[in-house]
Amino acid sequence: MTSERSNNSNSVPTTNKIGDGAVRQQGPDHIALPCLILAGGLGSRLRPVVDDRPKCLAPVLGRPFLAFQLEAIAAAGVRKVVLCTGHLATQVEDAFGTEFAGLELVYSKEPTPLGTGGAARLGIEKGRDSTHWIVLNGDSYLECDLRRCQQSFFNTQFAAAMTLVEMPDTARYGRVEVSTADTSTAASRRVLRFAEKSAGGRGWINAGVYFLSHSTIETLPLGISCSLEKDLFPRLAAAGQLAGITCLGDFIDIGTPESLKEAQRFFANQNRAETMHRGSDSISLKNRQEPRGS
């Protein structure tokens, strides 16, 4: 296992070398890390079509969007999820309870809006014994091999990693500028800086799945609103401590009415609707568990 880092965003984990010189995390080859899902957003842009529920419960094929996320990470081997809730938080707990798709669900409700950074900082209080976390945005979905991403993160020895996907036009999302000069694996690059959403053209974007040490998240203030994207990640990139893990899978988000419609088409694809594959695992959605009230 990697050891606990000191409370310093520039520190790196202690890992165990193997004979060929590569670096490998010790322990089982499944996803042993707990997961934080940032599900407290107000969803202001979605209100014209979804105004009676949190954004993560937006209906997709008659099911809450969050159900697809939870089933995907369960298939990858995640076992514990902390749902960081805020706006209409009780609806999320009422829908999913404390167990779903084999996942243990724990809730971290922010008393006031804390932003993505503040929500993550509050959420890790539900897992003080965890040295590292997977963090997911609750309004996006990435087809990726979480096991490979986890291994790439530990191989880099960086304080944090974010998944990246290439888009033909980055104007809506903002661009992530990366280096290819000091990669430790073919799939990982060092994040250099972030460009504003107005920067268009082909490039890499933040795909909403992150790997962070507990101590790195602890550098954020507890109980104070802050942002992973604006406060933590630029600081880590400037320190050379943020890796970008490139992914080839499809990426969607449900931030706007138009993208919510696209999510309906995305999951209506027969292959996705019947079986979702993650690495060597798959789960049949014909026998899937439905959230309460679905």
pLDDT of residue 200: 79
- Give DSSP secondary structure letters for the chain: -PPPPPS-TT-----EE-TTS-EE--S-SS--S-EEEEE----GGGTTT--SS-GGG-EETTEEHHHHHHHHHHHHT--EEEEEE-TTHHHHHHHHTTEETTEEEEEEE-SS--HHHHHHHHHGGG-TT-SEEEEEETTEEE---HHHHHHHHHHHT-SEEEEEEEES--TTT--EEEESTT-SSTTEEEEEEE--TT--SSEEEEEEEEEEEHHHHTTSPTTS---IIIIIHHHHHHTT-EEEEE--S-EEE-SSHHHHHHHHHHHHSHHHHHEEEETTEEEESTTPPPPTT-
pLDDT of residue 157: 86
pLDDT of residue 50: 79
pLDDT of residue 130: 92
pLDDT of residue 180: 72
pLDDT of residue 43: 66
pLDDT of residue 30: 56
Which residues, given as ranges, of the chain have pLDDT below 50?
Answer: 1-29, 181-185, 270-287
CATH number belonging to domain 31-162+206-242+264-274: 3.90.550.10
Q: What pTM value is reported for the model?
A: 0.82
